[in-house]
């Protein structure tokens, strides 16, 4: 008798995860897209097609808030790309040195903030930077730099950058650990061959290690993109739903929250909120597709 090649056990093991993912991700996603095509008229749901998107992008009141939130989101992402990821790569390169003592302790200490709650981080840094009871003025005064202190969370030109740097402090451990793991996968034979050719130290990292970990850097970049365009918690905890001062820290997440659920005198509008969420999904999808079909393809050609 011939045995069946159908591996039913694979479907059995995958089914619970697929069902849970569908229930908590796929169904809400399609329901959000569906809601964005309707509106409420006299307490009746009416199909309006893409009218909500036209209002979001072209109506002066809505478009001003949307483009402001999108620009802030992009700046939030740029700071993470230019500050968090290079620092994570540098830390990983340092901690991967075999002769470094207490490397495990340093890795743990740097990664611990990643495990903290957004609420804890937001309130803690809000207290630290407070001009009234914060310790930041005293610390700067101790080193003779008190003149550099400013109420960074209270000034429009500094607030978003300050919160982005707080987020960098919290999550720099993620790119550090991913790059560290990638560096450990580099065969010793390659590094030894480089040493025989006189390539050591920083030169070895730049000429040998860095090209070999480019795929890991690409993954970190796309994770940074997705994570920052989904950001919400830190801004909400530190600056509230209004993302002050004067919406200078408003990002797509806080804008969608105020619109969908309402806040203070603003009534909630699930349909416009769904339109904003759909726009966020489209932006993230475009960014991921650019990486998958553009950057990653070139990386594979480079490796070949």
Radius of gyration for the chain, computed over Cα atoms and rounded to the nearest angstrom: 24
Q: How far apart are CA 175 and CA 90, in angstroms?
A: 10
Interval 245-265: pLDDT, tens: 889 999 999 999 999 998 887
Interval 66-118: pLDDT, tens: 999 999 999 999 999 999 999 999 999 999 888 888 888 999 999 999 999 98
Kindly indicate the confidence band of residue 299, based on its pLDDT and cuts at 50, 70 and 90. Answer: low
Contact status, residue 64 vs residue 55, Cβ threshold 8 Å: no
Question: Looking at the domain assignment, is residue 28 inside a domain?
Answer: no
Question: Looking at the domain assignment, is residue 109 inside a domain?
Answer: yes
Contact status, residue 252 vs residue 70, Cβ threshold 8 Å: yes
Interval 149-194: pLDDT, tens: 888 998 999 999 999 999 999 999 999 999 999 998 888 888 888 8
Euclidean distance between the first and final Cα of the chain, in Å? Answer: 45
Contact status, residue 229 vs residue 252, Cβ threshold 8 Å: yes
Those residues whose C-beta lies under 8 Å from the C-beta of residue 91, and which sit 6 or more positions away, are 110, 172, 176
The yes-or-no verdict on residue 123 having pLDDT over 60 is: yes
The yes-or-no verdict on residue 303 having pLDDT over 60 is: no
pLDDT confidence of residue 6: 66
Residue 55, token pair as written in the block: 């209002």
Domain harbouring 212, CATH code: 1.10.3720.10
The yes-or-no verdict on residue 1 having pLDDT over 70 is: no
Q: How far apart are CA 25 and CA 35, in angstroms?
A: 15
Those residues whose C-beta lies under 8 Å from the C-beta of residue 76, and which sit 6 or more positions away, are 160, 163, 164, 167, 228, 231, 251
* Residue 5, CA distances (Å) to 11, 14, 15 in order: 13, 18, 19
User: What 3-state DSSP class applies to 289?
Assistant: helix
Q: What whole-number percentage of the chain has pLDDT above 70?
A: 95
Summary mean pLDDT of the chain: 88
* pTM summary value: 0.88
Q: How many domains does the chain have?
A: 1
Q: Which of 21, 47, 24, 26 is nearest to 35 (CA)?
A: 47
Question: Looking at the domain assignment, is residue 182 inside a domain?
Answer: yes
Element (H, E) at 46: strand 44-47
Contact status, residue 246 vs residue 156, Cβ threshold 8 Å: yes
Q: What whole-number percentage of the chain has pLDDT above 90?
A: 56
**Torsion angle in degrees (nearest 10) through CA of 215, 217, 221, 226:** 60
Interval 14-38: pLDDT, tens: 999 999 999 999 999 999 999 999 9
Q: Mean pLDDT over residues 269-295, rounded?
A: 90
Question: Looking at the domain assignment, is residue 263 inside a domain?
Answer: yes
Residue 62, token pair as written in the block: 């809505």
The boundaries of the domain holding residue 296 are: 55-114+151-303
Question: Looking at the domain assignment, is residue 35 inside a domain?
Answer: no
* Residue written as token pair 């990292």: 205
Element (H, E) at 195: helix 188-196
């Amino acid at each position: 008798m011939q045995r069946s090649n159908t591996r039913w056990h694979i479907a059995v093991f995958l089914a619970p995860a697929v069902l849970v993912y569908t229930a908590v991700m796929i169904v809400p996603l399609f329901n959000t897209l569906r809601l964005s095509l309707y509106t409420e008229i006299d307490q009746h749901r009416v199909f309006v097609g893409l009218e909500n998107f036209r209002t979001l992008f072209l109506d002066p009141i809505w478009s001003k808030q949307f483009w402001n939130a999108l620009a802030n989101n992009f700046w939030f992402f740029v700071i993470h790309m230019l500050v968090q990821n290079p620092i994570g790569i540098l830390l990983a390169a340092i901690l991967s040195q075999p002769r470094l003592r207490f490397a495990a302790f340093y890795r743990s200490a740097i990664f611990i903030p990643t495990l903290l709650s957004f609420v804890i981080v937001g309130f803690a840094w809000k207290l630290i930077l407070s001009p009234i009871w914060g310790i930041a003025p005293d610390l700067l005064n101790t080193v003779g730099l008190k003149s550099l202190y400013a109420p960074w969370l209270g000034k429009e030109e500094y607030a978003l950058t300050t919160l982005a740097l707080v987020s960098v402090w919290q999550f720099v451990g993620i790119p550090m650990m991913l790059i560290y793991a990638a560096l450990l996968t580099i065969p010793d034979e390659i590094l030894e061959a480089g040493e025989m050719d006189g390539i050591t130290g920083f030169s070895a990292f730049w000429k040998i290690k860095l090209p070999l970990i480019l795929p890991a850097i690409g993954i970190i970049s796309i994770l940074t993109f997705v994570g920052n365009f989904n950001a919400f918690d830190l801004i909400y905890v530190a600056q509230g739903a209004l993302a002050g001062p004067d919406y200078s820290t408003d990002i797509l997440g806080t804008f969608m929250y105020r619109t969908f659920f309402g806040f203070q005198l603003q009534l909630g509008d699930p349909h416009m909120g769904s339109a904003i969420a759909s726009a966020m999904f489209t932006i993230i999808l475009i960014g991921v597709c650019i990486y998958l079909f553009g950057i990653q393809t070139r990386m594979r050609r480079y490796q070949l």
